[in-house]
Structure 1
Amino acid sequence: MEKTFRDYEAVDVSAAVKEHYRKMRKNQTVDYVQRMQKKYLTYDKPMDLWEAMGHLNKLIDVSDPDLDLPNVQHLIQSAEAIREDNRPDWMQLTGLIHDLGKIMFLWGSDEDGTSQDEQWGTVGDVFVVGCKLPDTCVYPEFNELNPDMADDRYNTPTGIYQEGCGLDKLNLAWGHDEYLYQVLSNHKENTLPKEAMVMVRYHSFYPWHTGGSYKELLNEGDKEYLELIKDFNKYDLYTKCQKIYDLEEVREYYQPIAEKYLGKGPIFW
């Protein structure tokens, strides 16, 4: 029997997954996102890439209905599948690091939803803050819990944005995607191509890339983004399995690629 992914209505989806999304929808407002950007985008915590990878041995993504292994295993599974298909080395590295922003839990807090116990500010499908929440969000019945939906500035299809402004002008719910994107953008040694940065930033934006929402806000360039994300999504979603890898064993292959695109120095988180 073929495995089904992202079935949030399955009988064996834990109550924790649904509760995660309830909290995420209730708390991820325009004000919250602005506060998290100011609080976490400080770039004052130097850490070696492989040390950061190792920390994801301690984190299981509570929002994921498909995998209950430490997150580092998902990253290696994605990278190895991309490698097996002989895709470019930068894409292999992107697969290896695309969820690395989840190390935010190291300096996170329950209050912010950025700790090991409270992950609603770190993981899960993201959406645009500052405009109407679409029915393509997971558990759309939670949309009405968001205080911004009672604010006329934020509850229309375009909200605070200009029609056709494009993805890069939008503020998404705070999480590991945006965190890693901003950290890499600030990393002076980063030479990953634009395609990789798009994959990092938008891979959890399911209401857009899978649900087809936010058409009023998109521009022509976003069509290219959509093709990139759909390509990457094959490796992000459909590689999830129970196979266990040893990070140190795969490091020998990936370290030269990492040094090629990210340099040999620490990354400032």
Structure 2
Amino acid sequence: MEKVFRNYNENSVKAAVREHYKKMRQKQTVAYVAEMKQKYLTFDKPMMLWEALSHLDDLIDVSDPDLDLPNVQHLIQSAEAIRKDKRADWMQLVGLIHDLGKIMFLWGTDMDGTSQKEQWGMVGDVFVVGCALPDSCVYPEFNHLNPDMSDKRYNSTLGKYEKGCGLDNLELAWGHDEYLYRVLKHHPENKIPEEGMAMIRYHSFYPWHTGHSYTALLKEEDKKYLSWIRDFNKYDLYTKSDRTYELEKLKDYYLPIAEKYLGKGPIYW
């Protein structure tokens, strides 16, 4: 029987997944996102890439209905599938690191949803804050719980944005994508191409790349992002399995690629 991915049906999904998305919808507001950017975009915590990867052996993504393995296994599965298809080395690296922003749990708290216990500020499908929440969100019945949806500044189709402002000018719910993207943008040795950076930043933005929402906010140039994300998505989503790997046994292959695009020194988180 073919495996079904992203099945959020109440009869098959864990209660914790549904509760996670309820909390996301209740707490991910314009004000919250601003607070998290101020808190986390400090770039004052140096850590070598491989050490950061090893920390994801201690985290299971509570929002994922498909996988109960430590998150580092998902990263390796994605990277190995990209490698098997002989895609570009930078894309293999993106597969290996695309969820690495989840290491914010190391200095996160339950209160702001960035801990092992409370992950609603760290993982899960993201949406735009500052405008109306679309029905393409997972569990749209929770949309009305978002405080911004009772604020005239934020509850219309455009909300605080201008028509056609473009994807890069939208503020998304806070999470590991935006965190890693900002960390790498700040990293002076980063040579990951534009396509790879977009894959990192937008791979969890399902209401857009799969739900076809937010069309009034997009511009023509955003079509290139969509093709890149959909290309990456087949490796992010459809490679999930019970197969496990030893991270250290893959170091000889992936570390030289990482050093090619990110240098040999620490990354500042």
TM-score range, shorter chain: over 0.9
Q: Structure 2 CA distance, aligned partners of 1:234 and 1:50?
A: 25
User: TM-score, structure 2 length as denominator?
Assistant: 1.00
Q: What residue in structure 1 maps to residue 102 of structure 2?
A: 102
Question: Match of 1:68, SS?
Answer: coil
Q: What residue in structure 1 maps to residue 263 of structure 2?
A: 263
User: TM-score, structure 1 length as denominator?
Assistant: 1.00
Q: What residue in structure 1 maps to residue 34 of structure 2?
A: 34
Q: Structure 1 CA distance, aligned partners of 2:12 and 2:223?
A: 36
Q: Structure 1 CA distance, aligned partners of 2:190 and 2:238?
A: 28
Q: What residue in structure 2 maps to residue 68 of structure 1?
A: 68
Q: What residue in structure 2 maps to residue 54 of structure 1?
A: 54
Please tell me the residue identity of whatever aligns with 2:253.
Y
Shift, 1:265, TM fit: 0.2
Please tell me the residue identity of whatever aligns with 1:33.
V
Q: Structure 2 CA distance, aligned partners of 1:109 and 1:30?
A: 19
Q: Structure 1 CA distance, aligned partners of 2:206 and 2:105?
A: 23
- Listed as ranges, the gaps of 5+ residues in structure 1 are none
Please tell me the residue identity of whatever aligns with 2:197.
M
1:232 partnered with 2:232: yes
Q: Structure 1 CA distance, aligned partners of 2:201 and 2:210?
A: 15
Please tell me the residue identity of whatever aligns with 1:255.
L
Shift, 1:221, TM fit: 1.0
Shift, 1:247, TM fit: 0.1
Question: Match of 1:134, SS?
Answer: coil
Q: What residue in structure 2 maps to residue 165 of structure 1?
A: 165
Please tell me the residue identity of whatever aligns with 2:265.
G
Q: Structure 2 CA distance, aligned partners of 1:132 and 1:100?
A: 29
Shift, 1:12, TM fit: 2.8
Q: Structure 2 CA distance, aligned partners of 1:8 and 1:43?
A: 36
Question: Match of 1:178, SS?
Answer: helix
Q: What residue in structure 2 maps to residue 245 of structure 1?
A: 245
Q: What residue in structure 2 maps to residue 5 of structure 1?
A: 5
1:117 partnered with 2:117: yes
Q: Structure 1 CA distance, aligned partners of 2:193 and 2:214?
A: 26
Please tell me the residue identity of whatever aligns with 2:102.
K
Please tell me the residue identity of whatever aligns with 1:76.
I
What does the per-residue CA deviation read over 1:154-210, in whole Å, with 9 as the maximum and x for residues that have no partner?
A: 000110001001000000000000000000000000010000000000000000000
Q: Structure 2 CA distance, aligned partners of 1:17 and 1:3?
A: 18
Question: Match of 1:34, SS?
Answer: helix
Q: Structure 1 CA distance, aligned partners of 2:221 and 2:72?
A: 32
Q: What residue in structure 2 maps to residue 179 of structure 1?
A: 179
What does the per-residue CA deviation read over 1:45-69, in whole Å, with 9 as the maximum and x for residues that have no partner?
A: 0000000000000000000000000
Q: Structure 1 CA distance, aligned partners of 2:39 and 2:12?
A: 36
Please tell me the residue identity of whatever aligns with 2:266.
P
Q: Structure 2 CA distance, aligned partners of 1:157 and 1:209?
A: 18
Q: What residue in structure 2 maps to residue 135 of structure 1?
A: 135
- Listed as ranges, the gaps of 5+ residues in structure 2 are none
Question: Match of 2:143, SS?
Answer: helix
Q: How many residue pairs were aligned?
A: 269
Pairwise CA RMSD = 0.5
Please tell me the residue identity of whatever aligns with 1:221.
E
